[in-house]
Each structure stands twice: as structure tokens, then as C-alpha cells.
Amino acid sequence: MWNYLKRLYHKMGSPKWFYDISNKWLPWLIGVGCLLMGVGLVWGLAYAPADYLQGNSFRIIYIHVPAAIVAQSCYMLMAVAGLVAMVWRMKIAFWVMRAAAPIGVSVTAIALFTGAIWGKPTWGTWWVWDARLTSMLILLFLYFGVIALYNAIEDDELANKAGAILSIVGVINIPIIKYSVEWWNTLHQPATITLTKKPTMAPEMFIPLVLTIVGFYCWFAVWLILRTQNEILWRERRTKWVQQVTNHVL
Amino acid sequence: MHPQRKQRLLIILFVLAGIGIAVGLMLYALKENINLFYTPTQMANGEVPADRLVRAGGLVVVGSLQRDPNSLLATFKVTDGVAEVTIQYSGILPDLFREGQGIVAMGKLNAQGVFIASEVLAKHDEKYMPPEVTHALEQAHKDGKQDLESARD
């Protein structure tokens, strides 16, 4: 098992191998992702019962929570990729980071935006500077920071390293986001879904939420693979295999 | 593992641990400032400066809400289970405001120990359920009480 994982890890380092294998994953991820998102959203938005207190406005949870979870996962993925890239100098890990940063910005922005829309009718305010909301805003700025480093530093290798270091250091923000609602008094409520306890949500509302979360992860994977493939094709554009794949000789 | 890689890994992990500890200490030192609101206990203990704009939070005490019939003035008490503080607010309360609900109010504590709020926000908890379930829960609660009472008779 260990040897298999080790072999897989080494193969992952090969851009061509990654390009080929991820091409095989794509149709599955797209299919499963669309199916889960479709079922989850229709179920959640149309068939799940309204909340006893919030009425229909709670339904934004089916976008807000998946976006917020993926926003944090995406950052952790960038931090792990950054570590792998810095320690093993695996170039494809640098490229995955470049591909992931703009996705992270988008999903974090979606989470903040849907949260504000929900906050207005529920709390009575769009925004409040509590620990959860502020740490999530910091996550958005960390993503912006990584992208800014890529654009500001002309030397690609240096830019990659700078982005990796910021990603690794910024991962400290992730536990802060997660535990902000427990460590401090916040307006944002504590977690509804935890790994250790039963969710504090009725099952007919909870199951569609799980579907949309898994579906959102699939879509995130599709998006990340497509962007990484682009990165690979561009950076390996002078190699024979890319010219064969794209039917384009430079 | 290649010694050079091992060294790089260790350096990164040490730097991360160092920054983690630094951030942890900073957040711990800033604990009071990061808290969004003061609890009624903190107010009762005099931890809240008078005449300064602060936030107070707690659960609205059941049966404490009084509305002025001629204006929008509402007076209610909030509790954290230990202490209570009276809040006065003139304005439209959020939709989710009810007795028993958690709220966060922004305002000033006056000399009489009454919190004069300029903004009231409703705090939502982590529970989500359909209306029928709450209805059933309330019904069960009532039935249970009746059973108790009839048992007492």
C-alpha cells in the first residue's frame, strides 16, 4: 500500500501522466457533480421544508455552506501543494497552486456574498466585524495576496516560491476560521455539521445539504483540473507530447 | 528521505510552528477585543466601561419584553444564565426577535445600569428544523406538563 502511494506520488510529478489521468477523471467528476448539485439544489430549494424560525431564507445554506467549506479546503490544498513544491521541488505542485488561487477567490467571495444576503433578514445587518466574518475576509485577502505575488514578481520561479510561502504561512488562518465561533463571542452561530456529533438539523434539510457539499467538491475538482491542464499545456508547450495533444507545432 | 529535502521540510515546519505560536499568543492577548459582545455577567461585574459604545449579548428573558404603547420603545432583559441586564431600544426590532432568542445589541450602559441600545441584531443558533417539528415538540412539552399536573391532582 505504502509503495503504491509512493509510486502514485512520483507519477503525479509527471505533467504528461497527470494530464492523461485527469482527463479520465473529468467525465466522472462532471457527471457526479452535476447529478449531486442538481438533485441537492432542487431538493433543498423546492422540496425541503421551511425553517421554523427563518422561513425560506434559510435555503441560501445550500450555496453558502458548500462554498464556505470548499473555500477553506482549497486553501488547505494550496498549502499542501506549497509544502510539496518547496520540499520536493515538484513543479506540477507549483502549477496546481497557480490554478487554485483564482478558484479560491471566487468561492470565498460566494460564501461572503451569500452570507451577507442571509445576514440582512436574519440578523438585521449585512456585515458585522465578528471573528468568523473577519477571519473569512482575511482568507479572501490571502488569496488576493497569493495572486498578487504571482503577478507582481516577473521571475516565475521566484513568484512560485513566494506564493508557496504565503500559502503555507496563511494556513494558520484556517483553524482560526473553524474555531472562531467557539473561542470568541460571535454573531455567527456555531457549526451545524460536525464530524463527532449528530447534526443539529432535521434530516430532510440535512441530506440535500450533504449532496450539494459533495457536488460542490466535484465541481471544484473539475475546475481545478481544467485550470491545471491549461497550465501544463502552456508551460510544456515546447515538448513533443503537448504538440501532439494540441496538434499545434510552435 | 533525501537529507536536503528533510532539512527544507524541517525549516518550513519550524517556521510554521513559530508563526503559529506567535499568532496564538497575539489572539490570546486580544481575546477581549475580538469578542463581539459583553455578556450580562461581565456587565454585572463592572467590566464594561460606562458611557462607551459597546455591544451586549444574551438571551431575551421570557416574559420581560415590554412595549411602549405610544412609541417604538421596547424594554427587555437579556441573560446568560447567571446575570441579567435591562436593555432599552427605540426602533424596529429584527424579524427573528422573540423572547428566548439570542440577541446582540449595540449601545451604552448608563449610570443606572440600563443598556440604551442604538441597534439590535438577532443571533441565530445552529439548529434548523421544519415548523411541524417545533410544533410537535411544543405539544409534547405541553402534554408532559398536563400529565404532570394531572398526576399531581
Residues of chain B in contact with residue A183, where contact means CB-CB under 8 angstroms, are: 27, 31, 34
- A196 — pLDDT class (breaks 50, 70, 90): confident
State how far residue A29 is from chain B, nearest Cα, in angstroms: 30
pLDDT, position A97:
96
Q: Tell me, what's the pLDDT at B144?
A: 63
pTM of the model: 0.87
- Name the DSSP letter for residue B91: S
- CA of A156 to nearest chain B CA: how many angstroms apart? 20
Percent of chain B residues past pLDDT 90, beyond the cut = 20
CB contact under 8 A, B39 and A87: no
Report yes or no: B4 at the A interface, CB cutoff 8 Å. no
Query: Is pLDDT above 90 for A41?
Result: yes
Task: Give the dihedral of Cα atoms A12, A18, A23, A27; nearest 10 deg.
Answer: 30
Is B67 in CB contact (< 8 Å) with chain A? no
Given a cut of 70, whether residue B152 has pLDDT beyond it is no
**Tens-place pLDDT, residues A72-124:** 999 999 999 999 999 988 889 999 999 999 999 999 999 999 999 999 888 88
Residue B129 has pLDDT above 90, yes or no: no
Q: How far is CA B70 from CA A1, A88, B65, B67, B73, in A?
A: 76, 73, 15, 9, 8
Interface contact A168-B125, CB threshold 8 A: no
- Cβ distance A202 to B133 less than 8 Å, yes or no, reads yes
Closest chain A residue to the Cα of B9, Cα to Cα: A87
Judge whether residue B127 has pLDDT over 60.
yes
The whole-number pLDDT of residue B142 equals: 67
**Rg, chain B, Cα only:** 24
Q: What is the pLDDT of residue B135?
A: 73
Q: Where are the alpha helices (DSSP H) in chain A?
A: 2-12, 15-42, 61-88, 91-122, 131-152, 156-170, 173-183, 203-235, 240-246
Measure the CA–CA gap between B8 and A186, rounded to whole angstroms: 39
Q: Tell me which residue in B9, B20, B121 faces A123 most closely, judged by beta carbons.
A: B121
* Contact across the interface for B8 and A205, Cβ inside 8 Å: no
Q: Does B16 touch chain A (CB under 8 A)?
A: yes
Continuous segment of H or E residues that includes residue B20: helix B3-29
Spatial distance between the Cα atoms of A14 and A11, rounded to a whole number of angstroms: 5
Which of A61, A187, A210 to mutate to probe the B interface, most B CBs <10 Å? Answer: A187
Q: Which residue has the higher pLDDT, A184 or A195?
A: A184
What pLDDT shows up at residue B68? 87
Q: Is the pLDDT of residue A241 over 60?
A: yes
Model confidence at B33: pLDDT above 90: no
Joined together, the cell numbers standing for residue A250 give: 510552435
Q: Is residue B132 scored above 80 in pLDDT?
A: no
| Range of weakest confidence among A164-168, A194-198, B75-79, B143-147 | B143-147
Q: What is the mean pLDDT of chain A?
A: 92
B103: nearest Cα among B44, B48, B60 = B60
Q: What is the pLDDT of residue B145?
A: 59
Closest by Cβ to B125, choosing from A50, A189, A204 = A189
Spatial contact of A206 and A6, defined as CB atoms under 8 Å apart: no
B10 grid coordinates? 524541517
A197 secondary structure, DSSP code? S
Q: What is the rounded distance in angstroms from the CA atom of residue B102 to the CA atom of residue A81?
A: 42
Q: Does the structure show a pLDDT above 90 at A66?
A: yes
The reported pLDDT for the residue numbered A250 is 66
Would you call B124 and A125 a contact, using CB atoms and an 8 Å cutoff? no
pLDDT band at B153 (very low <50, low <70, confident <90, very high): low
**Separation CA A21–CA A11 (nearest Å):** 10
Q: pLDDT, tens digit, for every residue of A121-145?
A: 888 889 999 899 999 999 999 999 9
For residue B50, pLDDT beyond 80? no
> Mean pLDDT score of chain B, rounded to an integer?
84
Query: How far, in Å, CA of A124 to CA of B93, rounded?
Result: 8
Dist. CA A70–CA A60, nearest whole Å: 16
- B94 closest CB neighbour out of A124, A171, A185: A124
Of the listed ranges A43-47, A157-161, B3-7, B93-97, the least confidently predicted one is: B93-97
Q: How confident is the model at residue B143 (pLDDT cuts 50, 70, 90)?
A: low
Cα(B55)–Cα(B39) distance, rounded to whole angstroms?
A: 9
- What are the cell numbers at A103? 478558484
Chain B residue with Cα closest to A123? B122
Q: Which residues of A touch B128 (CB under 8 A)?
A: 51, 54, 58, 61, 192, 200-202, 205
pLDDT at A95: 95
Mean pLDDT of B6-22: 91
**Per-residue model confidence as pLDDT tens digits over A6-31:** 888 877 778 899 999 999 999 999 99
**Mean pLDDT across the stretch B27-56?**
85
| Residue B51, strand partner residues | none
- 3-state secondary structure at position B48: coil
Among A35, A56, A61, residue whose Cα is nearest residue A46: A56
Which stretches of B30-130 are DSSP H helices?
Answer: 31-34, 40-44
Given a cut of 60, is residue B148 above it in pLDDT?
Answer: no
